[in-house]
Structure formats: C-alpha cells, structure tokens
Amino acid sequence: MSAGYFPKREKVGLEDLFKGLVTASHILHREDVLDAYGHISVRSPDNPATFWMPCNISPALISTPEDLIEYNVEDATPVEKSSKSGYLERHIHSEIYKRFPAINSVVHSHCSDVLPYCVSGVPLKATIHMAGFLGNNVPVWDAASHYPSGSKHDLLVRDSTLGASLSAAFKPATSAGFLYSKVRSALPTQIAGNPPDPSREPDHAVVLLQGHGFVTVAHGIEEAVYQAIYTREAAKAQTAALTIRNAHFGHIVEGKIDVEGGGKIKSAKVKAEGDLKYLKEGEAHDAWESMQETVARPWALWCRQVEVSPLYKNECPGGED
C-alpha cells in the first residue's frame, strides 16, 4: 500500500488521509463507479470513533480539506456542528464502522453496470480472478422490510435503523459460500494495534442493495477503490458472458408429451446449455489473496490519471513521510 493510508497505521496522518480521500473520489468518478451521486469514506486514524467523508457535492468536484466532514461513528452526527451539509446516506458508513471495528473504508455506488444484479434475481458472482473478493455469494439487501414506522420508503439509507440492517447483511447469522473474513483476518495488525478478530470481520466484501446499488468495505482506501472498480468490471464481464451464452446456445425443453391432449408438453422445464463457469470458492479465495499484494499497482496508475486530468482538482497538502 502507498504510504499514508490504512493498513499502514503508523504512517497515517490527516493530511495524507484528506489527500487520499479526495483522490479516491476522483478515481471512482473517472472509472464510472460514482457519478454525481455516491461516496467513499475513511475512518479517522487519530480516533476510531470518527470517520471522514466528503460534504454534499459531486465526487468529481471535491478538492479541499474544507470539502470533508468528520462524523461520529456512534450516530453519524458531525463532530463540528458548523460543518457543511453532508450526504443523507452517511448512516451506511457509520453503522458499518460501528459493527466492524477493523473496517477503515467504505464505498457506496449506484454504478449502472451493477444495478441489473440488484433487481433481476440473477446472482452476482466472481467470474474473473480480479474480482475474487466477490466469492460466489454476494448478498442482496432489501430495505422494504426495515423501514422505521412513518419513514419515507424511498430506498435511501437515511437513518441508523436502515444502516444497521444493511451492515448486518455483511455478516449474516447463517453465512454460506466464500468467507471474505478468511483472507482479511490474515492481514497485518490493524487500527489501534489490535490484531483482526475473524468473528468481527465481515463475511462479504460487497453487498447489493435492492433497486439501489452496492456497498463495499475494506481495510484501506486503496483496497476499497480497487474493490469498487472491480465489482463493476465483474458485473460487466458477467453480463457480457450471459448475453453471449444466451445468443449462442439454444434451450432444451424437457417434459412429458400429452398425446391425448393434442401433443402438449406436461411439466415442461427449460434447460439452458452452456452454463457460465464461475470461480469456485477456493479459486475466489486464492485469487483475491494473490491480488491483494498488487493493489498498489493500479492505485498508482489511477492516481496519475486523475492528476493529469483538468477536471479534477486536489488542493489538499501532502503529508510528510
């Protein structure tokens, strides 16, 4: 990881954090993970009970430390009462930080490549080794049954009740499939010098929101950005593969023919040919374990790309090494 961000706790300073958070917002916009909406946050290196995220402006336009707000993990209230207006859905971040003490960065996105998997009933799975963190069981959380009495049913995670329900989806009571925590628990010592406790780690790196988008969690800014971008890439690859499969292969109808009924097929089932070859659980685990060691490579490229673009301005001073 680059100096200054989690999980290299001993090198983290607020100046590094601010610069990295602004850069991350720009990268996620450039890579079509965020548009005018969506956000990334990071836990404070000085106080694990607070976190930082941008104020209520488009991610591409964030540029200075004044555009960032510090919030309390406990209730998502701003530490400074005079802070700028913030994002309504900051409860997504606060409740995840509250439930998972080792998680240091969260991304929420409405990426159009991922949205079909939030509404179609088709499960999003790891189709490519770059997205092994997805495993073969990405949960879909539906806000419908969790709205507090009298609240708006607008799918927005606008309070702690909805945020807590969403955060619980990262570690369901009964977890099946790929356990994200198996890899995460092998990481170096995390915040406050405490080794990660697998029982308090999320089982999933990504959760989809019904009709809304997705959230990914990580131990550092670079990793969160990587996971968000390759969630989009995995969705694109899976959609393309499904389209090609359906166009190329035929469908077989199986059932019994009712001769007396005019030749109709009874109890018919449509069987598709050419099933997709998703990563097996062990393959997803091993692929992500390998890719973790390379996250600094794309991060350096993405940083340079937004640095030379005239659209993005990062006026946060850099910290000392």
pTM for the whole thing?
A: 0.86
- Range 168-195 average pLDDT: 56
Q: Please state which of the ranges 178-187, 215-224, 297-306 shows the lowest mean pLDDT.
A: 178-187
Take residue 191 and report the two structure tokens written for it. Answer: 């915040």
Distances, alpha carbon 13 to alpha carbons 10, 104, 191, in Å:
9, 14, 13
The domain ranges of the chain are 9-307
Q: Please give the structure tokens belonging to residue 141.
A: 């959380």
| Residue 36: exposure state from Cβ atoms within 10 A (0-12, 13-18, ≥19) | exposed
* One CATH from 3.20.20.140, 1.10.3720.10, 3.90.1640.30, 3.40.225.10 for 9-307: 3.40.225.10
Which residues have a catalytic role annotated?
89
DSSP, collapsed to helix, strand or coil, labels residue 214 as strand
Q: What's the mean pLDDT in 289-297?
A: 92
Q: What percent of the chain has pLDDT over 90?
A: 67
Q: How far is CA 197 from CA 13, 165, 251, in A?
A: 25, 21, 47
- Residue 62 token pair: 């964030």
The pLDDT-based confidence of 192 (bands split at 50, 70, 90) is very low
Structure tokens at 235: 């969705």
Mean pLDDT in residue range 46-50 = 92
Cis peptide before 7 (omega within 30 of 0): yes
> Stretch 289-313: mean pLDDT, rounded?
95
pLDDT at 224: 97
Beta strands in 238-307 (DSSP E): 251-258, 264-272
Task: Summarize the confidence of residues 232-236 as an average pLDDT.
Answer: 97
**For position 246, what pLDDT does the model report?**
84
- Give the residue from 221, 240, 300, 169 showing the smallest Cα distance to 6: 221
Q: Read off the pLDDT of residues 106-163 as tens digits, 9 standing for 90 and up.
A: 999 999 999 999 999 999 999 999 999 999 889 999 999 898 888 889 999 999 999 9
* Lookup result for tokens 């701003």: 78
The predicted pLDDT at position 161 comes to 94
Higher model confidence: residue 245 or residue 139?
139
134: number of Cβ within 10 Å = 31
Mean pLDDT of all residues in 38-56: 95
pLDDT at residue 142 in the model: 95
Residue 193 confidence (pLDDT) above 50: no
CA-to-CA dists, residue 16 to 2, 40, 61, 221, 225, angstroms: 10, 15, 19, 11, 16
